[in-house]
Amino acid sequence: MLLEIRDATKIYGSSGGSKDEVVALQDFNLKIPKSPASITAIAGESGSGKTTLANAILGFVKLTSGQVIYDGQDIAHAARAQMKDYRRDVQAVFQDPFGVYNPFYRVQHVFYQVIRNFGLNHNRAEWQQMIEEALNAVGLRGQDVLRKYPHQLSGGQRQRIMMARAYMIEPRLIVADEPVSMVDASLRASILDVMLRLKEEKGISFLYITHDLSTAYQVGDQIYVLYQGSVAEKGATFSVIDRPRHPYVQLLVDSVPVPDPDVKWEGEVVFPPEEEMRSSVASGCRFYSRCSQRLDQCLQQQPPLYQVDDSDHQVACYLMST
Ligand code: ADP
Ligand code: MG
């Protein structure tokens, strides 16, 4: 496996023993194979734990329990040299990358820094060629953008420059946390297209995090639908979205207003805002209060993931247990 996450749980505020604990992520498991390269979509409404997951993978958040295993190595116990590889192999692209730019430097500085930090090359002519190639890969033309300052670029251009930067490093995995949520529809399509091309042509895998089910459907090979920090349903994207089994995921998929199945995923399908406050004391299914098919059993314990067919389509719902 390229990346494996085992029983990852993150509880914020747990150290002080206060009652303001938030279970941001609970018993989360994920596997991304080494090959072929794939796009794993993590979809969920705001507050469902997506960024916590991304930050745990990138090492910005320490898990309360569980493991992040890269190439067979638990990153919490990795040696220095292994961490160095990891920091190169796993790159991040965030929602609004404005903050990662120094406003006083031209865009080209981002690329020079990458070349320096990762010791990519020593020859200036080769530098230029690498940068040019990376920019072309994300549909930008070099001389236009390199001499600009960050504030002179659109959000979509900043986003693509982050992709180009990641491309130059040639990572094996890009963690993209809501990369298209701040851009308009046409740019969204072109950034999603860049992801598909980097996957196909460069063998780069993605963890694509989104609150928009339709883009997850468009690019995801696998999908994990999170609800309040737990997986409600996961599996091959075509299987989960075409035949959802969890009442929550069915609700989401059915809420798409267009009746024609051929066009139903064209628009943006945004999750409704999270209604309930979460707490560590909640037992049972987290979707209970919103569920139209709830059973008494659902209050007792969080449902485990049930296999629903012979693929790896799994659903956390007691309705699947019979
Ligand atoms: P998402 O990215 O899906 O919106 P997050 O991972 O950001 O979700 O948040 C999951 C839950 O954890 C939310 O209830 C959020 O309020 C809480 N949370 C996130 N970061 C922190 C933090 N640093 N301290 C306390 N609670 C946090
Ligand atoms: Mg987030």
Round to whole Å and give the CA distance between 56 and 209: 13
pLDDT in tens, 120-150: 666 778 888 888 888 988 888 877 889 998 8
- The answer, yes or no, to whether any atom of ligand 1 lies below 6 A from the CB of 12, is yes
Same domain as 199, residue 138: yes
- The answer, yes or no, to whether any atom of ligand 1 lies below 6 A from the CB of 210, is no
Residue 225 lies in a domain: no
pLDDT in tens, the chain (322 residues): 999 999 999 999 866 666 678 899 999 999 999 999 999 999 999 999 999 999 999 999 999 999 999 999 999 998 998 898 999 999 988 766 566 677 788 888 888 888 888 776 667 788 888 888 889 888 888 778 899 988 888 877 888 888 888 888 889 999 999 887 777 787 788 889 889 999 998 999 999 999 989 899 999 999 999 999 999 999 999 999 999 999 999 998 887 655 455 555 555 556 655 544 454 446 789 999 889 998 888 988 899 999 997 678 999 999 998 7
Ligand 2 centroid from CA 310, angstroms: 32
Mutate to test the pocket of ligand 1, among 28, 46, 50, 52 (most ligand atoms within 8 A of CB): 52
pTM of the entire predicted model: 0.89
Same domain as 266, residue 195: no
Same domain as 251, residue 193: no
Round to whole Å and give the CA distance between 44 and 79: 34
Q: What is the CATH number of the domain that holds 179?
A: 3.40.50.300
- The answer, yes or no, to whether any atom of ligand 1 lies below 6 A from the CB of 47, is yes
Residue 232 lies in a domain: no
Residue nearest to atom 14 of ligand 1 (CA): 47
**Angle of CA points 74, 37, 210, to nearest 5°:** 80
Residue 229 lies in a domain: no
Question: How many domains does the chain divide into?
Answer: 2
Residue 298 lies in a domain: yes
Residue 286 lies in a domain: yes
- Identify the domain containing residue 316 by its residue range: 246-322
Ligand 1 centroid from CA 228, angstroms: 10
CA distances 3 to 43, 75, 294, Å, are 18, 10, 35
Q: How many CB atoms lie within 10 A of CB 157?
A: 20
CA distances 220 to 38, 94, 101, 149, Å, are 8, 18, 29, 33
Which residue intervals of the chain are DSSP H helices? 50-58, 80-89, 108-117, 124-137, 142-146, 155-169, 185-202, 213-219, 237-242, 247-254
Ligand 2 centroid from CA 73, angstroms: 26
